[in-house]
Structure 1
Amino acid sequence: MGAADLLPDELRAHPLFDGLNGEQYRWLADSGRSHELGDGEVLFAEGAPARFFVVLLDGELLISKVVDDRDEVLARHSTRDGAEERAMLAHTFTGELCVLAGDAYLATATSVGHSRVALYDRDTFLQMLVRAPRVSEMVVPVLALRAQDMIVSGGRRSTLASLGTLAAGIAHELNNPASAVIRAIGELDDAVEELEAAAETWGQTAEQAERAALADARRDWLARPRGSGPGDALGVSLLEEELQDWLEDHGLGDGSSLAPLLAERGLDTGWLDDLGARVFDARLPAALRYLSESLRIRSCVMDVRDAGTRVSAIVRNTKEYTNLDRAPESDVDVREGLESTLAMLRPKLAGITVVRDYAPPLPRVPGYPTELNQVWTNLVDNAAGAMGGRGELRVSVRGEGGCILVEVADTGPGIDAAVLPRVFEPFFTTKDIGAGTGLGLHLSHRIVTKRHRGSITVRSRPGDTRFQVRLPGPPASPGAAAAAEEDGAAPTSCRALPADA
């Protein structure tokens, strides 16, 4: 039917946005758009590019999927269901899985009767998770449940597993910068008011030379990198105590506000003595208060800037991992794919030492980057699970004849020799019931051997399990191929290799 503006008050009443503040509601209203649908109107179709995260404001959406040439109803999202709170919340938004992954919609959404939705594009949805962590707390559990339900029910199991990994990785990675932004903004609210009062007092009493002394102190503080103080926590704590005592002895009522800012940059009481010598004793408390509030605000601004940089890096890694804006088949730098995969799986690799061994620049290989990233995800995820969160993961890439050899090795307990020949069989798994589908390695085998004309093998003993993937390099030029044929050289194959498993 049509689009319209969103109002903060209608978002305030929505369960997904419960508990936000006025500024967050205003941002949500300004950043999204309302869309009305008539009875039977399709909001999005299965297979279409996933463009929007959808919040159901009023009405009902029927979610269906074509299975074996017939429509199968997967869910009904309604604002009128009187279900249990978590289930009711889950039925008020949709599209988050596909939007996060940059994939196509996995199903079709059709309006039942008149409906009204709020639409947020992908970039805005990612910003929403940062600006409103409360929304992340609501979305991620529902997202995880949906991914699990869809995996159990079948249909694109491997893709959905990757989506679940991606969503968990993004949620985990966004948590720290989002918390930093919220903390910094909370401090800024108080710090700006305090700075105004301190600046007024200092400005009324300070001499020109004293103003210059404080300006020099701020420049010196800014020139020193964060973390340049004592290298251990105990040393930092002792330095903070010394600085706090000095500050409070010289008239700063709350020395604990300034002491940590100085300690993290390696500034000590000698630095404060030099500053104190340039300011008249009676005006030193006002100078210290002004310096404290000024540096506090600068520190908050740096926190926000660093958090923004981190979010940008997360978006960049997500884009690389999902290969947005790329054709399905292209020339692939396997090292880029491995790095993106390691970034997405960083939460699962906590406590594991990752060792990289990448050969000098190697040629790109023709292939399907998203599918290869799925292979790397399965291999790295299995290795991390085998090690139980502790051990060494070794990832290497090197040339081998006309092939590119990728090896993922771990120091886990190894795979039993009796089951080793079956690891690539469909639905075969050594994991507990519910912990694995037995499809990851089977699908990886199909992707490597069928889609990329390569090979994947495994060898294992306690403390050393290695999966080796060989992919054909770029095809040789006609001249080089003819020369090799004249020399009697056999064509290179990444399939028929001596058994090294």
Structure 2
Amino acid sequence: MERLTADELRGLFLFEHLDEDKLNWLAEHGQIETRKAGTLVLAEGEPATCFFVLLEGTVALTRNIGGERVETNRTDYRGSYFGATQVYLQADVPSKTIYQMTVESITDTRMFQLTAQDFGPIVREWFPMAMHLLEGLFFGMQNTQRAVNQRERLLALGSLSAGLTHELNNPAAAAVRATAALRERVAGMRHKLAMLASGAIDPKTLTGLVKLQENAVERVAKAPKLSPMEVSDREDEVGDWLDDQGVRNGWEVAPVLVAGGLDVEWLEEAVGLCAPETKEAAVRWLAYTVETETLMAEIEDATTRVSTLVGAAKQYSQMDRAPFQVIDVHELLDSTLIMLNRKIGDIEVVKDYDRTLPPIPAYAAELNQVWTNLIDNAIGAMGGSGTLTVRTLREGGDAVVEIGDTGSGIPPEIKSRIFEPFFTTKAVGEGTGLGLDISWRIVVKRHHGDITVESEPGNTRFRVRLPLDPPPEHATPEAPATFDGA
């Protein structure tokens, strides 16, 4: 078994400041490993059993991203290290650690190797103060990132909750107002019925009123949408006609009749046949009918909007649903747009959905977090005006979701950094720099997909690729943060 001498080890920058006893210990416990060109040194995800220092040759470090091996580094620098680089952080060396990267020999290589069982304890023993500092830095950063992650989610939840509350308040308030007005109108109709009971309205007149009422109800349901100018003209026309018929305060009744789709032509035909002494009663009865139908339609519309918002919130949160499921990505996108409706404001939303896209296996609630981050960033980039485009399509075995905006774009000098944790271009207090990092982890780590961006002024597009086939065991758990010295 080939070994290095203490003097040879001293020539490596990693060991150059060690004393003779430590160098001799390394020389005794380490050994030389060689690999042929094109062979693996170690594989990502396997137990981290060895620590390597490169002596000769070239190696490439790769990571599995979206099911593909992506090269992150290539080096021939003597002394570069990789493998079980974090085992010294584990007090119970090193059964719980795995390799964070795959390392392949590009050329024939020669390496110094220490087993993780030897490497971890001696680093802890030799450098106790450094270990305290490293552990504090490493675990402190992990705790900080975890806390900021939670804060990011809470801030997003608070913003969405405020928007949802505002959206719910409008239709709920409308329903309350319409219900109060409806109560008054029903009271008026009960008064008319009391007049009938006292003989103030004869049965023949009542029969005519009931027929007019039925026709008016049908008319209200088909009332056309009029422009403000058309409404004003028609109210003047109906008001003049009511004055001609001797109806008192016709200007008060005219807006109600016009809102129900009743015009002079219809009124002439329906009311004109009534006896002069019953025309005003007929008009008033019609006004009560139209307003009652209009108010009930308003209540129905308001409560439908509330129900739609609650349904969207339930879809967005995936409440009462399994974490991993087969979902229609369009339902997730629509629910996210509804949740962000208040923020969207005057921005034009263009949906370009490929409805032939099949359902995809996914963690639905987590994907909603991705859509929220991307759409919220797009809204912010446009400053209140522009076009938000949400597009879906199929490319090979992947579903692609594209979020585009017409904002100022991402400057080329920071484009490569936007997925870094804590990197943000927003003002202090407006962002934590974790939205895109979280999105990347959800798409790539959880779903074995990919997320990329293309940007120029007026055209920024984030593309999320998701496999249509479920990954093995649904998806792999997220790996901890890593550092490799190579």
If the TM-score is normalised by the length of the shorter chain, which range does it land in? 0.5 to 0.7
The one-character-per-residue Cα deviations of 1:91-145 (angstroms, maximum 9, x if unpaired) are xxxxxxxxxxxxxxxxxxxxxxxxxxxxxxxxxxxxxxxxxxxxxxxxxxxxxxx
Q: What residue number does 2:195 align with?
A: 201
4+ residue runs of structure 1 moved beyond 6 angstroms?
none
CA-to-aligned-CA distance 1:361-385 (integer Å, 9 cap, x gap): 2222222100000000111111111
1:347 aligns with 2:332: no
| Kept after mapping to 2: 8 A contact 1:404/1:473 | yes
CA distance in 1, matches of 2:225, 2:389: 33
Q: Deviations over 1:225-280 (max 9, x none)?
A: 55833531111122122223333443443435532332234321122222232211
Q: Is the 8 A contact 2:327 2:359 kept in 1?
A: yes
Q: Can you list the C-alpha shifts for 1:123-180, whole angstroms capped at 9, x where unaligned?
A: xxxxxxxxxxxxxxxxxxxxxxxxxxxx997451343233223312321221221121
Does the alignment pair 1:180 with 2:174? yes
> TM-score, normalised to structure 2's length?
0.63
* Cα distance in 2, alignment partners of residues 358 and 275 from structure 1: 48
CA–CA separation in structure 1 for the residues paired with 2:221 and 2:239: 19
Q: 1:230 to 1:358 in 2, by over 3 A?
A: closer
| Paired position in structure 2 for 1:91 | none
Hey, what's the Cα distance between the residues in 2 that align with 1:370 and 1:292? 49
* Aligned equivalent of 1:157, options 142, 151, 160: 151
Q: Which residue of 2 aligns with 1:84?
A: none
The DSSP-based 3-state class of the residue aligned with 2:266 is: helix
The change in CA–CA distance for 1:194 and 1:225 in structure 2 (over 3 A counts) is: closer
Q: Is the 8 A contact 1:365 1:472 kept in 2?
A: yes
**What does 1:96-115 correspond to in 2, within 5 Å?**
none
Secondary structure of the corresponding residue to residue 308 of structure 1: helix
Change (3 A) 1:294 1:436: same
**1:274-331: CA deviations, max 9, x gaps?**
2232211112222222222233233222222222222111111111111111111112
Q: 1:152 to 1:470 in 2, by over 3 A?
A: closer
Q: State how far apart, in whole Å, the 2-side matches of 1:466 and 1:411 are.
A: 9
Q: How does 1:22-61 map to 2 (within 5 A)?
A: none
Task: Specify whether residues 333 and 189 from structure 1 end up closer, same or farther in structure 2 by C-alpha distance, changes over 3 A only.
Answer: closer
Corresponding residue for 1:280? 275
Tell which has more relative contact order, 1 or 2 (C-alpha 8 A, sep 6+): 2
Cα distance, 1:436 vs structure 2: 1.4
1:465 to 457, 460, 464: 460
Q: For 2:151, give the aligned amino acid.
A: R
Letter matched to residue 162 of structure 1: A
Match of 2:85 in 1: none
- Rounded to whole Å, the distance in 1 between the matches of 2:449 and 2:351 is 22
Q: Which whole-Å CA distance do the structure 2 matches of 1:217 and 1:324 have between them?
A: 49
- Residues 416-455 of structure 1 mapped to structure 2, 5 A cutoff: 416-455=411-450
Partner of 2:141: none
Equivalent of 1:335 in 330, 355, 360? 330
Q: 1:319 is matched by which residue type in structure 2?
A: K
Task: Quote the Cα distance in structure 2 between the aligned partners of 1:435 and 1:448.
Answer: 24
For the structure 1 residues 377 and 227, does the alpha-carbon distance in structure 2 shift closer, same or farther, using more than 3 Å as the test? farther
Whether 2:259 is the aligned partner of 1:264: answer: yes
Residue deviations 1:33-70 (CA, integer Å, cap 9, x gap): xxxxxxxxxxxxxxxxxxxxxxxxxxxxxxxxxxxxxx
Q: What's the secondary structure of 1:172's corresponding residue?
A: helix
What do the CA deviations read for 1:17-36 (whole angstroms, capped 9, x no partner)? xxxxxxxxxxxxxxxxxxxx
SS of residue matched to 1:438: coil
SS at match of 2:413: coil
Matched, 1:409 2:404: yes
Greater displacement, 314-323 / 358-367: 358-367
Residue identity in the other structure for 1:286? A
- Give 3-state SS (helix, strand or coil) of 2:349's partner: strand
Distance 1:249 1:182 in 2: 37
Contact 1:221 1:262 in 2 (8 A): no
Tell me the matched-pair count. 327
1:169 matches 2:163: yes
Is 1:246 matched with 2:241?
A: yes
Asked whether the 8 Å contact 1:330–1:369 carries over to 2, the reply is: yes
Q: Residues 258, 353 of structure 1: CA spacing in aligned structure 2 closer, same or farther, 3 A cutoff?
A: same
Q: 1:283 to 1:395 in 2, by over 3 A?
A: same
C-alpha offsets along residues 392-414 of structure 1, whole Å, 9 cap, x if unaligned?
A: 11111111111111100111111
Partner residue, 1:233: 228
* Cα separation, 2, equivalents of 1:323 and 1:476: 21
2:97 alignment counterpart: none
The verdict on how the C-alpha distance between 1:202 and 1:389 changes in structure 2, with shifts beyond 3 A counting, is farther
Query: 1:379/1:152 Cα in 2 relative to 1: closer, same or farther (>3 Å)?
Result: same
2:326 paired with 1:324: no
Per the alignment, residue 222 of structure 1 pairs with 217
1:471 aligns to what SS in structure 2? strand
1:365 to 360, 364, 387: 360
Residue by residue, what CA displacement relative to the aligned partner does 1:192-244 show, whole Å, maximum 9, x if unpaired? 33222233335634454533332233222222355833531111122122223
Please tell me whether the aligned partners of residues 257 and 290 of structure 2 are also in contact (alpha carbons under 8 angstroms): no
CA distance in 2, matches of 1:287, 1:315: 42
Cα distance change on mapping 1:152 and 1:434 into 2, 3 Å: farther
Query: TM-score, normalised to structure 1's length?
Result: 0.61
Q: 3-state DSSP class of the match of 2:416?
A: helix
Q: What amino acid is aligned across from residue 187 of structure 2 in structure 1?
A: E
Corresponding residue of 1:379: 374
- Structure 2 Cα separation of the partners of residues 312 and 257 of structure 1: 34
Counterpart residue type for residue 467 of structure 1? F
Contact 1:410–1:464 (CA under 8 A) maintained in structure 2:
yes
1:118-129 correspondence to structure 2 within 5 Å: none
CA contact (8 A) 1:352 1:393 kept: yes
